[in-house]
Amino acid sequence: MTKRATRNALLTSLRIVICLFVLSVSLFAQDRNPIILIPGLTGSELKHKVTGERIWFKAFKSKSEDLRLPISTSIDKMHDDLIPGDIIREVKIGILPATDVYGGFIRAMEMRAGYHEESWTNPSDDGDRDAIYVFAYDWRLDNVENAQRLVRDVEALKRKLKTPDLKFDIVAHSMGGIISRYAAMYGDADLPTGNRKVVPTWAGAKLFDKVILLGTPNEGAMSSLGSILNGYTVGGLRIDLPFIQDSSKFTVFTIPSAYQLLPAPGTFRAFDDKLKPLAINLYDPKMWSKYGWNAIDDDDFNDQFDLAEQKIATAYFTAALDRAKRLHEALAASNGKAEGVAIYLVGSDCKTALDGVVIYRDGNNWKTLVRPKGFTRSDGSRVTDDELKKVMQSAGDGVVTQRSLEVASILKNQPVKLVCEDHNKLAANARIQDYVIRVLEGKGSTIGN
């Protein structure tokens, strides 16, 4: 190749690079709605409001505080001395490699899409465009309460930015999607009391434009029952974090959000030892006592709670189940529509997720299987692991089933982006990040407006 040809080739390459750079800058220069990133269960730090000690996440339990909430018959009034800190960006334990949680997603939005992170309390002059706000929250609390806080925080931020017409896009993982959907449908209104019919107002449409749900259990997660029965170790309901401190079933008993992740009314799948379906109303407290699920009936319960809590425990438990049921009903009241808000669903169908339990007699007691582990019937015949898997598992992301993500009765004919990934890695997946960026740029499919 001659020197002139080489020079011309270099100039051509340089022009292409410059054009691409100018194009990327122009794309970034187009003002886009600010993003609110909402983590899922266990995805926010919890710290003591006075001492500042971080109670969650840390590898070892605090000597002075735990995650148990003081129980009350008013589910939306249950608080202690813990408040949310930052979202959990990564988990680092000892010499083990750090595990990305939400930090990688934020970096992707910054480096590949031109967004910048902002502060809720002190936003910059650019806080109304191409900005990321992380919404850390106390994931133990009632989801409606957290949805109300989200709405009020957004309204306060708009006043600070002096942008009354500004709308925000939401990227919500797992339980964060429940909070997002309620905020979009009802704004900061509480659940109606009594037998009043729930009618969505879509009050959140004045605040939110696009709502992207990553692995949201719109129909609940069967694994939540296992967590309530047995306590949890790895990520609460095995939804968000790969490493956490142990928590007993007595701690989970006090956490309202755990009940609100139970399978929605009418969707609970249970089978007997012949693997025949059982009709069980999961929101009837009597069923919990019948099958030995109610922590109150545990011999150790009175050792775990003081006398005052023991007296109101049954009323609290009944109220927690009732509020969880009414939350599901409120979310289902959309009748497949999304008015003024565009909803995008992202999840997986390549990992088996718990989709049913098996209940059988073991001597004088009932035993509930939340994992497909073979057992011997009272007549001596054997039920194998594989037989159990057929009725207890279905396609999903390892935690949330594809059916629960999509919920045709709630979001009809919605397009769904499915990528093979584990539930707790959805936000860190590069293909999902690319899809989210396209959606935020107006290039994705949607249900709604």
Q: 417-448: per-residue pLDDT in tens?
A: 999 999 999 999 999 999 999 999 987 665 54
Once rounded to an integer, what is the mean pLDDT over residues 226-239?
64
- Backbone torsions φ then ψ of 147, nearest 5 degrees: -65, -40
Express each pLDDT in 34-87 by its tens digit. Answer: 999 999 999 999 999 999 999 988 765 655 568 999 999 999 889 999 999 999
Mapping DSSP to helix (H, G, I), strand (E, B) and coil, where does residue 366 land? strand
Q: State CA 307 to chain mean position distance.
A: 34
Inside any domain, residue 24: no
pLDDT confidence of residue 439: 95
Q: Are 140 and 173 in contact (CB under 8 A)?
A: no
Residue type (1 letter), 183: A
Average pLDDT, the chain: 89
Inside any domain, residue 37: yes
Report the C-alpha gap between 349 and 431 in whole angstroms.
15
pLDDT confidence of residue 424: 94
pLDDT confidence of residue 414: 67
Instruction: Report whether the peptide linkage leading into residue 57 is cis, meaning its omega lies within 30 degrees of zero.
Output: yes
Report the C-alpha gap between 304 and 166 in whole angstroms.
48
Inside any domain, residue 126: yes
Inside any domain, residue 25: no
pLDDT confidence of residue 243: 41
Residue 165's domain is classified under what CATH number?
3.40.50.1820
Looking at per-residue pLDDT, the higher value among 408 and 229 belongs to 229
Residue 235 clears pLDDT 50, i.e. is over it? no
Q: CA nearest 206: which of 221, 188, 194? A: 188
Residue type (1 letter), 49: K
Express each pLDDT in 351-410 by its tens digit. Answer: 999 999 999 998 889 999 999 999 999 899 999 999 999 999 999 999 999 999 998 656
pLDDT confidence of residue 177: 98
Phi-psi group of 54: left, alpha or beta (phi > 0 → left; psi -120 to 50 → alpha; rest → beta): beta
Inside any domain, residue 320: yes
Q: Which of 8-12, 162-166, 310-314, 381-385 shows the lowest mean pLDDT across its residues? A: 8-12
Residue 18 clears pLDDT 50, i.e. is over it? no
User: 393: which residues sit within 8 A by CB, 6+ positions away?
Assistant: 352, 353, 354, 355, 356, 372
pLDDT confidence of residue 295: 97
Sorting pLDDT into bands at 50, 70 and 90, what band is 337?
A: confident
Once rounded to an integer, what is the mean pLDDT over residues 345-356?
97
Inside any domain, residue 205: yes
Q: In the 8-state DSSP scheme, what is residue 189?
A: P
Domain containing 167 equals 33-261+297-350+413-440
Residue 270 clears pLDDT 80, i.e. is over it? yes
The number of folded domains in the chain is: 1
Count the neighbouring beta carbons within 10 Å of the beta carbon of residue 222: 30
* Alpha helices (runs of H) in 30-116, residue ranges in sequence order: 103-113
Q: Are 374 and 366 in contact (CB under 8 A)?
A: no
What is the percent of the chain with per-residue pLDDT over 90, rounded to a whole number? 76
**Looking at beta carbons, which pairs linking 387-391 to residues 24 or more positions away fall under 8 Å?**
387/275, 388/275, 388/358, 389/352, 391/269, 391/271, 391/275, 391/356, 391/358
Q: In the 8-state DSSP scheme, what is residue 46?
A: E
Count the neighbouring beta carbons within 10 Å of the beta carbon of residue 331: 23
Count the neighbouring beta carbons within 10 Å of the beta carbon of residue 210: 23
Q: Are 238 and 218 in contact (CB under 8 A)?
A: no
Angle CA(269)–CA(239)–CA(280) in degrees, nearest 5?
A: 15
Once rounded to an integer, what is the mean pLDDT over residues 200-207?
96
Once rounded to an integer, what is the mean pLDDT over residues 105-110?
98
Sorting pLDDT into bands at 50, 70 and 90, what band is 196?
A: confident
Query: Could you tell me the CA-to-CA distances from 118 to 110, 124, 449 in Å, in that order?
Result: 11, 7, 27
Once rounded to an integer, what is the mean pLDDT over residues 319-329?
97
Residue type (1 letter), 243: F
Report the C-alpha gap between 47 and 57 in whole angstroms.
9
Residue type (1 letter), 291: Y
Beta strands in 162-207 (DSSP E): 168-173
Inside any domain, residue 272: no
Inside any domain, residue 403: no
Report the C-alpha gap between 337 and 410 in whole angstroms.
8
